[in-house]
Amino acid sequence: MHSAPMRTIHDDVEEVLLSADALADRVAQLGAQLSADYAGRDPVLVSVLKGSIVFLADLIRAMEIPLSVDLMEVSSYGSGTETSGQVRILKDLSASIEGREVIVVEDIIDTGLTLNYLLRYLWERNPASMRICCLLDKPARRLAEIEIDYTGFTIPDRFVIGYGLDYDERYRNLPYVGVLRPSVYSSPSEE
Ligand code: PRP
């Protein structure tokens, strides 16, 4: 008996934008740079669910200094793919960041509205310092000005998935960053 050929998440990728090797190399560099910059400072890495989990997991293993991790989950009000700028906190910090050296770890900054809100929220908790480490910077669609301290890659205005990033909660498990085939989101589902 022959089974149908397995359909995988790779079939929906139009192009690989950043290979697993390129990601690993850049994350190692970022980790080394953060380790040097934060030596002796015991930083707390505050990351935002869910897209950042893969980057965070690799980044902390590329760092050799003592650090802690905290996770937040936010959701933007409004529908569809556009961010509205109004952000709802779904999961707050587990521990106080007062007086701490905070590194905000994000997978992607697109309009910048999510981070713009989050930074204001976090500054109210009186950290000693706060810097941003972002894997992917997509400046083409920026609406809020954000100063990014550590950037992995600057990418063009394309629909990217993988290495944590989703479309409709899928594709987070791709080991690379790819461009989603437009047919996946522009045509009616076959099912
Ligand atoms: C992504 C990403 C940022 C935000 C960036 O999260 O992780 O938090 O969008 O977009 P912006 O710069 O336009 O505000 P998303 O809302 O897709 O949730 P997810 O991380 O759970 O996939």
Distance of CA 161 to the CA centre of its chain: 11
Residue 78: its pLDDT value, please? 60
Residue with tokens 């990601």: 23
Which contacts of 62-65 are long-range, i.e. CB under 8 A and separated by 24 or more positions? 62/27, 62/28, 62/30, 62/31, 62/32, 62/35, 63/31, 63/34, 63/35, 64/31, 64/35, 65/34, 65/35, 65/38, 65/39, 65/40, 65/41
State which ligand 1 atom lies nearest to the alpha carbon of 138: 12
State which ligand 1 atom lies nearest to the alpha carbon of 108: 2
Mean residue pLDDT of the chain comes to 93
State which ligand 1 atom lies nearest to the alpha carbon of 76: 16
- HSE value, Cβ hemisphere, 13 Å, CA-based, for 143: 12
Mutate to test the pocket of ligand 1, among 54, 106, 108, 135 (most ligand atoms within 8 A of CB): 108
CA angle, residues 145, 148, 150, in degrees to nearest 5: 170
CB 116 less than 6 A from any atom of ligand 1? no
Reported as a single tens digit per residue, the pLDDT across 45-62 is 999 999 999 999 999 999
CB 58 less than 6 A from any atom of ligand 1? no
The residue whose C-alpha atom lies closest to atom 21 belonging to ligand 1 is 50
Structure token pair of residue 168: 């409709």
Q: What ranges do the domains of the chain cover? A: 20-157
CATH 3.30.565.10 fits 20-157, yes or no: no
CB 56 less than 6 A from any atom of ligand 1? no
Q: What is the mean pLDDT of residues 171-190?
A: 88
CB 148 less than 6 A from any atom of ligand 1? no
Residue 86: its pLDDT value, please? 78
Residue 80: its pLDDT value, please? 55
Structure token pair of residue 55: 């980057």
Q: pTM value?
A: 0.92
Strands 129-137 and 150-154 come out as parallel
Catalogue the active-site residues. Answer: 110
Closest CA to 111 of 74, 139, 134: 139
Residue 82: its pLDDT value, please? 58
